[in-house]
Structure 1
Amino acid sequence: MTFTLFPDTRAALARDALAGLSVGDALGATFFVPGQAAAPWREPPPGPWPWSDDTEMACSVLRVLAETGAVDRDDLAVSFARRYDPARRYGAGAVRILELIRAGTPWPVAAASAFDGQGSCGNGAAMRVGPLGAWFADSTRRAADQARASAEVTHAHPEGIAGAVAVAVAASLAARARLTGDRPAPARLLAAVAAALDPTGDVHQGVRRAAALLGGPLPRAVDALGNGARVTAQDTVPFTLWVAATHLEDYPAAVRACVEAGGDVDTTAAIAGAVVAAYAGVGTPGGVPAQWLAAREPLPDWLG
């Protein structure tokens, strides 16, 4: 089914995905305890819930898209470096790259310098890309291409880039399903994501494992896929897409699953939350609860 996606609709879908990302990020952080495998689910604490680097960088991605309709890597690198606040819990590797860019180092050089020239395979490119995928609800190919461009600014490692592509394609498919009313079966959603990835890569293999685990219990998925504790795309993205495919119509259940899994809770809840919100929306049955959105710290004024 083909359709025309008008600019206002693109922006609305991306904004809902950003709401899902930022609420997942902010709420997930209230459960995160370093060194603790998992925290039991409880009623969310009173707001405001501060968001982290996940949200700050996602806002830069959406700002660049809103201005140009596509990812300009030079503009995105400048935005990342100009906007980043180390108090937002950036990882040490991201800080080094962004400080280099801020000091005038070209982004390809800065990104390639990470991990002794291997580039980063961290989950940072994946955590910020859900709104981009929703923006390109009419084309998973464009979602994949633009996700790749957005990732390359900070992640030179193929797995770090693959993580971003996987999340963007999932969010694109989720937003498209919202528009068409054709909710993809979990296995079909993950199969489409896997088809967009290099079949020799670890992220691809992880998504394939996630599909085989659908319908099974959360602990089994965590044991097989990871929970982001290693902060890599490989041990984060397959799990978050398992959560999103399983709970595509139930945002609170998706966030709760991430909390109960432990690990890098704010990032896993941000990634899964963006994909689910692209489908379920905000303030709707199964979408981002209005009270959670109100408790989240307001997004930065510069986003517009």
Structure 2
Amino acid sequence: MHVRLAAMTDDRRNRAVASLRGLAVGDAFGSCFFVPENYDALVARRLPADPWRWTDDAEMACSIFAVLDRLGEVDQDALAASFAAHHDFDRGYGPGVNRMLRLIRQEGGDWRKLVAESWDGRGSWGNGAAMRVAPLGAYFADDPERAAAQAAASAEVTHAHPEGLAGAVAVAVATALATTRPRVEGAQWLRDVAAHVAPGLVRDGIANAISLLPLEDSQSAAATLGNGREVSAQDTVPFCLWIVAKHPDDYVEALWATAVAGGDIDTTCAIVGGILGARPGRGQGGVPDGWLRRCERLPDWAGVDDAS
């Protein structure tokens, strides 16, 4: 029994690491295109110069991985403390999260109170909880129901709005199902993801993504689904799931298709990269070695380099 449990833990950890690396590379790749001189490279599908530097997406995902690695589940207080302790203002955090994490770290603020007060008490429906959660979905890939519950718990640390929670749940379940299925059948996979998501704008967007699967052009899909330009969960997650449904076995093509659609490119690429990172039978989820080498190393505190 102990051997079997240890093997299960190792499998979970390895899946989460693969997803985290896929997320970080996607995040860093996407962030390159916010530099004006890289626009021509994007149009020509030419890799931007390295090093590729990841943003708050990967930094917060590292905290999720570190908490899961240490505790085996989401402890919200531990996660909030990790977010605050490792908050780097220069990584591109939104102003609301910057303020919240500064208050937690410097003044001992209560994250529950700060989250409840955000956005005039409505809570954030931003894409921040979705952008960081894929490694959690990979970790709990053997139990999508638990992945959904744990994703909601991780989201609640910064997002109180139901759509913010729904975005995180959708990405976590999408990752869990993509990680355990040798084949991702686009429409059925999307329906299975939507079954775990509460009614609302994110779930409606997933339904729209299913109807748009006949499209071949990611820019056309983004015109309806959004591309993260509004930085909301509903403007981001359905498009990312459409990309994965169209390119489930091609990390490179999926990332290019995501990037050329514009919008919040680092976040959309992080979500797509995280979902595809732990796909079965592909090592690093098909992430090319050259892309991995171009990407900035993940921080030592995350403990990723100790994982196989």
* Matching residue's letter, 1:278: A
Match of 1:291 in 2: 290
> Is contact 2:33–2:39 with CA below 8 Å preserved after alignment?
no
Measured after TM superposition, the shift of residue 207 of structure 1 is 0.6
In structure 2, relative to structure 1, the CA distance for the partners of 1:205 and 1:193 (3 Å cut) is same
> Is contact 2:25–2:270 with CA below 8 Å preserved after alignment?
yes
Match of 1:163 in 2: 167
TM-score by length of 2: 0.91
Segment of structure 1 superposing worse, 206-215 or 64-73: 206-215
Q: C-alpha distance in 2, partners of 1:296/1:238? A: 26
Match of 1:302 in 2: 301
> Is contact 1:159–1:203 with CA below 8 Å preserved after alignment?
yes
Equivalent position to 2:145, from 128, 137, 141: 141
> Is contact 2:184–2:248 with CA below 8 Å preserved after alignment?
no
Measured after TM superposition, the shift of residue 105 of structure 1 is 1.6
> Is contact 2:54–2:91 with CA below 8 Å preserved after alignment?
yes
Equivalent position to 1:60, from 58, 63, 66: 63
Q: C-alpha distance in 2, partners of 1:207/1:41? A: 30
Q: C-alpha distance in 2, partners of 1:41/1:238? A: 26
Match of 1:222 in 2: 222
Quote the sequence identity (%).
Answer: 53
Q: C-alpha distance in 2, partners of 1:281/1:99? A: 41
Q: Which runs of 5+ in 2 are unaligned?
A: 304-308
> Is contact 1:251–1:280 with CA below 8 Å preserved after alignment?
no
* Matching residue's letter, 2:57: D
* Deviation by residue 1:250-296 (Cα, 9 ceiling, x = unmatched): 00011001111000000000001111122157656x71111101110
Measured after TM superposition, the shift of residue 33 of structure 1 is 5.0
The number of residue pairs the alignment matches comes to 295
The structure with the greater share of residues assigned to helix is 2
> Is contact 2:130–2:164 with CA below 8 Å preserved after alignment?
yes
What does 1:75-224 correspond to in 2, within 5 Å? 75-102=78-105, 103-177=107-181, 181=182, 183-199=183-199, 201-216=200-215, 217-224=217-224
> Is contact 1:250–1:280 with CA below 8 Å preserved after alignment?
no
Q: C-alpha distance in 2, partners of 1:101/1:254? A: 37
Q: C-alpha distance in 1, partners of 2:16/2:53? A: 21
Q: C-alpha distance in 2, partners of 1:221/1:281? A: 29
Q: C-alpha distance in 2, partners of 1:287/1:56? A: 22
Measured after TM superposition, the shift of residue 210 of structure 1 is 0.5
